[in-house]
Amino acid sequence: MHLKKTLLSISILALFANTAFALSLSEVQTLSSNNNYQIKQYESLYESSKELKQSAFKSFLPNLSTSYSYTRLDEPPYQIVNGNKMIMGSNNNYQWNVTITQPIFTGFYLINKYKYAKYDEAFSKANLEVIRNQVITNAKIAYFNVLYNQKMLETRQLAVAQYESHLKDAQSFYKQGLIPKVDLLKSEVAYSNAKQELKQAYSNLTDAIAQLNQLLNEPIDKTHTFEQVADVVDLKTPLDSLYAQIDNRPDIKALSYAIQKANAQVGMVKSGYYPQLQLRANYNRNGQNLDMSNNPYSDNSIYSLNIIANWDVFDWGKTKNDVQAAKLQEIALQNELNNLKTQSKTQILNAYDQAQVAYHNISVAQTALAQANENYKLTNERYLNQLATSTDILDARALLTQAEANYYGAIYGYCIALEKLANAVGKTD
């Protein structure tokens, strides 16, 4: 029996291993963090926000613009003076203009625009961490699902071998007239069902690996060998200390920055209450030829310096409405943040309880598995001595199959519960 189980394990490794190394949990975290397309998407959004912040800062700096134009008139401009026609210009007119504009006062619009961009960068970074944490958590859960389904495939292979061995014993007993045909038929049906369950277990494992590969941005059908998890240990962290880490959750940070963005938006809208003041320096050159060196009618170079003030003194209360709308959006975000903090505590509590229950189930399932193994062994011996029926041994094997599923489900269920708890706290491990 031990030899058969060893051979079955070897066959699984041969089936699902064409790589030279075993994929570990830490490698799953690294690969998912570096390769996942969703993370790359939010990395691009973060980089975009950094560019926008730099752009907002440069709004404080002077702006230089230039233009060059050519105008052709059908006849030169003139003026009638005392009945005489006096030429005032030429048919060909070239003009070059250079302007430097420096904002002096914008009603605090530019400084709030920069604050908005700065908080948007922080928001994008926190949002990136939200997505990164979720992708890594999903990848780790997928990894544990692979390990679980791998164990299920092993147990189903062993079950098929045991059902096949039992069927051979039943056929021998039937030929000797020791059991009725109905017992033989039960054994044949159980063997057929076991083979179907084996095919389903293989399919489940294939699907689990495909799901993991998708999260790692690997080819869907790529195969791996997988490191088994180390011995699990009980969760010792006090619940209150987990609650205390809520403010470090990236989604809470992101929403906090969203509130600060909304506050900056209020400041930007309020700028409509104030006058706008800017300094403008201008150089203008014009003439009759391309380089504008010839202009017999006026000075071909003109310099000017202007201070320009604009103020919308009455807009029917539009600015007031816009400011109030922006304030209400900020209040809405603050309420959303308060709600998220409450939900976060509930998520942590649920994940914490699930982890504790799952850990308790491991020892219970381990005991049940040992008992089911012993029960199957004794029942098989009794059957070989014709002290038990086919129904007895088939029931014993079914109990063993269920015990195996419960045991591995408890182990990997606990690992998954810990990952969900880490994610609820805002971490990836």
* Ramachandran class of 204: left when φ > 0, alpha when ψ lies in -120 to 50, beta otherwise: alpha
Domain parsing of the chain, residue ranges: 25-61+107-274+316-425, 63-105+276-310
Q: Is 178 exposed, middle or buried (0-12, 13-18, 19+ CB in 10 A)?
A: exposed
Residue 22 dihedral angles phi and psi, to the nearest 5°: -90, 130
Q: Are 225 and 22 in contact (CB under 8 A)?
A: yes
- 84, two tokens: 């005489």
* b/e burial code for range 149-171 (CB count within 10 A of at least 16 → b): bbbbbbbbbbbbbbbeebbebbe
Report helix angle 109-175 to 37-58, nearest 10: 180
Q: Are 53 and 121 in contact (CB under 8 A)?
A: yes
Strand partners for 71: 93
pLDDT digits (tens, 9 = 90+) for 398-423: 999 999 999 999 999 999 999 999 99
- The pTM for the full model equals 0.81
**Pick from 36, 40, 39: nearest CA to 217:** 36
CA gap 73, 297 in Å, rounded: 16
Please tell me the class of the 25-61+107-274+316-425 domain.
mainly alpha
Strand partners for 284: 97, 302
Q: SS3 helix, strand, coil % of the chain, rounded to 5?
A: 65, 15, 20
CA gap 160, 145 in Å, rounded: 22
The distance from CA 256 to its chain's CA centroid, rounded to whole angstroms, is: 19
- 173, two tokens: 């007993």
**Pick from 12, 13, 377: nearest CA to 162:** 377
Per-residue confidence (pLDDT) for residue 129, from 0 to 100: 95
The residues, ordered by sequence, that sit 6+ positions from 338 with a Cβ below 8 Å of its Cβ are none
Length of the chain: 429
Residue 216 dihedral angles phi and psi, to the nearest 5°: -90, 0
- 196, two tokens: 């179907």
Per-residue confidence (pLDDT) for residue 279, from 0 to 100: 96
Strands (E), 88-206: 92-105
Q: Measured in Å, how far apart are the chain's first and last C-alpha atoms?
A: 39
Per-residue pLDDT tens digits of the chain, which is 429 residues long: 333 333 344 344 444 444 445 788 888 888 888 999 999 999 999 999 999 999 999 999 999 999 999 999 888 887 887 778 778 778 888 999 999 999 999 999 999 999 999 999 999 999 999 999 999 999 999 999 999 999 999 999 999 998 888 888 889 888 988 888 888 888 889 889 999 999 999 999 999 999 999 999 898 888 888 888 767 788 888 889 999 988 889 999 999 999 999 999 999 999 999 999 999 999 999 888 888 888 887 788 899 999 999 998 888 999 999 999 999 999 999 999 999 999 999 999 999 999 999 999 999 999 999 999 999 899 988 878 888 888 888 889 899 999 999 999 999 999 999 999 999 998 876
Per-residue confidence (pLDDT) for residue 3, from 0 to 100: 32
pLDDT digits (tens, 9 = 90+) for 226-252: 888 767 788 888 889 999 988 889 999
CA gap 63, 312 in Å, rounded: 23
